[in-house]
Amino acid sequence: MSEAPIPASTAAPAATAAAVAPLLEVRDLHARVGGQTVLKGVSLAVNAGEVHAIMGPNGSGKSTLAYVLAGRPGYEIISGSASFEGRDLLSLAPEERARAGLFLGFQYPVEIPGVNNAYLLKAALNAARRERGQSELDAFEFLSLVRSKTALMHIDESFLGRGVNEGFSGGEKKRNEILQMLVLEPKLALLDETDSGLDIDALKVVANGVNSLRGAGRAIVLVTHYQRLLDHIVPDFVHVLTRGRIARSGDRTLALELERRGYDWIDGQAAA
């Protein structure tokens, strides 16, 4: 492999039609959390129809990037910009970003006993539908939609009546995140370490779910530490985030090379 690193600022794949703005465009984003600057100039462009993987060692800023894009409180933007379908993403409240079609799959989904899964799904779906100018689903339409998705995710229907993630295993929580994604059908899914803590069977189920959402109108950004997820969800682009910047971008072979050579390889190159 002698592929030259693509400069971060031009990491965006060449737009096929110059007139079409990327679905997500991040430019030179700097952000800090807890007084520490974690993102130090991230640039990234994601077009509809693409699957991107953002890889990197622990502490490189992967989750921070996901949280900043989803609008988590406590993350402060220092400079730079992020747009979603041409709108200034960073000026929107988290709920507005979600309704605009951005979905964050959490690395550590929270438990909310007392609010059942079905209620959350329905409230979230109807909020998204209202935003799109669609009518709300009635109970019957909602249930038949959800049933097809629970089957795909190997989730027992009884889960719907339980509290959100209440008493779920790690793997069940991750499958539940993907279930929510499938019901909401976002334009952009940001999946933060969705593969962590999954055994191989669960990984396949999750990958199936994610792959079922792939399509021309949508994009998926996978944040992951390990290559193995990418065996099941094959990305179009792979970016390596180290020390708060995208140090290198490439196609899926970059992930395989990382697997072989480790993140130190990128670090060594970046330092050189």
d(CA 151, CA 171): 16
CA distance linking residue 124 with residue 186, whole number of Å: 11
Give the one residue of 27, 40, 72, 187 binding another protein; rule: CB under 8 A: 72
Site for another protein in 166-225 (CB under 8 A): 180, 184
128 makes contact with another protein (CB under 8 A): yes
Binding mask 158-177 for another protein (x = CB under 8 A): -----x--------------
> Number of C-alpha atoms within 13 angstroms, CB side, residue 195?
22
For another protein, which is the closer residue by CB, 44 or 120?
A: 120
212-216: long-range contacts (C-beta < 8 A, 24 or more apart)?
Answer: 212/152, 212/182, 213/181, 213/182, 213/185, 213/189, 214/51, 215/49, 216/48, 216/49
Choose, by CB under 8 A, the member of 32, 52, 62, 122 that binds another protein.
122
From the list 120, 210, 229, 241, which residue makes contact with another protein (rule: CB under 8 A)?
A: 120
Give yes or no for residue 88 binding another protein (CB under 8 A). Answer: no
* CA dist., res. 189 & res. 101, Å (int): 8
106 binds another protein (CB under 8 A): yes
Contact 18, 187 (CB under 8 A): no
Give whichever of 93 and 200 is closer to another protein, judged by the CB atom: 93
Footprint on this chain of another protein (rule: CB under 8 A): 70-74, 93-95, 97-99, 103-104, 106, 109-110, 112-116, 118-120, 122-124, 127-128, 131, 163, 180, 184
